[in-house]
Amino acid sequence: MIVDFHSHTSESDGSLHPQALVDFMGERKVEIFSISDHDTMSAYGKFTPPPGARVVTGVEINTTYKGNEVHVLGYGMPSDAPELATMIEHNRDARRRRAHKMVEQLQRAGYGITYEEVLAQAPDAKAIGRPHVAKVLIAKGYVPDVDTAFRQLLRTGMPGYVPSLHITPQEAIDHITGAGGIPVLAHPGRLKDRVLIDELGPRGLRGLEVFYPLHDAEDVAIFRAKAKQYGLVMTAGMDFHDIRYHTRGVGIEVERDDIAPFLELVA
Residue 167's alpha-carbon distances to 87, 161, 164, in angstroms, are 8, 19, 9
Q: What is the pLDDT of residue 137?
A: 97
196: left (phi over 0), alpha (psi -120 to 50) or beta: alpha
For residues 205 and 230, give the distance between their C-alpha atoms in angstroms, rounded to a whole number. 9
Q: Which domain holds residue 13?
A: 2-87+165-265
Is 92 among the domain residues? no
Whether residue 101 contacts residue 122, with contact meaning beta carbons closer than 8 Å, is answered with no
Residue that is last in its domain, among 154, 175, 196: 154
Residue 94 domain flag: no
Mean pLDDT of 58-77: 94
Residues contacting 71, CB < 8 A, separation 6+: 60, 61, 62, 63, 185, 186, 187
Q: What is the pLDDT of residues 159-177, one digit of tens each?
A: 999 987 778 999 999 999 9
Same domain, 183 and 77: yes
The CATH number covering residue 126 comes to 1.10.150.650
- In this predicted structure, what is the pLDDT of residue 166? 79
Per-residue model confidence as pLDDT tens digits over 122-162: 777 777 888 899 999 999 999 999 889 999 999 889 999 99
Is residue 93, in this structure, part of any structural domain at all?
no
What are the pLDDT digits (tens) for 230-262? Answer: 999 999 999 999 998 899 999 999 999 999 999
Q: Which helix H or strand E contains 29, and what residues bound it?
A: none
Say which DSSP state 126 is in.
S
CA gap 146, 184 in Å, rounded: 27
Statement to judge: residues 261 and 176 lie in one domain: yes
Average pLDDT, integer, range 109-113: 96
- Identify any residues that bridge with 63 across adjacent strands, giving them in sequence order: 70, 167
Residue 90 has pLDDT above 90, yes or no: no
- For the segment 46-62, the average pLDDT, to the nearest whole number, is 96
Euclidean distance between CA atoms 253 and 244, whole angstroms: 21
Same structural domain, 46 and 170: yes
The whole-number pLDDT of residue 122 equals: 78
Residue 204 pLDDT: 96
Q: With contact defined as beta carbons under 8 Å apart, do 208 and 227 qualify?
A: yes
Domain total for the chain? Answer: 2
pLDDT at 91 over 90: no
pTM, 2 dp: 0.86
Question: By percentage, how much of the chain surpasses pLDDT 90?
Answer: 81
pLDDT band per the 50, 70, 90 thresholds, residue 209: very high
Look at residue 77 and tell me whether its pLDDT is greater than 80.
yes
Burial state string for 152-171 with b = 16 or more CB within 10 A and e = fewer than 16: ebbeeeeebbbebebbebbb
pLDDT band at residue 23 under the 50/70/90 scheme: very high
Q: Is the dihedral of CA 178, 182, 187, 190 positive or negative?
A: positive
Residue 41 CA to chain centroid, in angstroms? 12
pLDDT value for 31: 98
Query: Do 145 and 182 fall into the same domain?
Result: no
Task: Check which CATH number belongs to the domain holding 73 and give it.
Answer: 3.20.20.140
In a domain, 126, yes or no: yes
CA distance linking residue 204 with residue 202, whole number of Å: 6
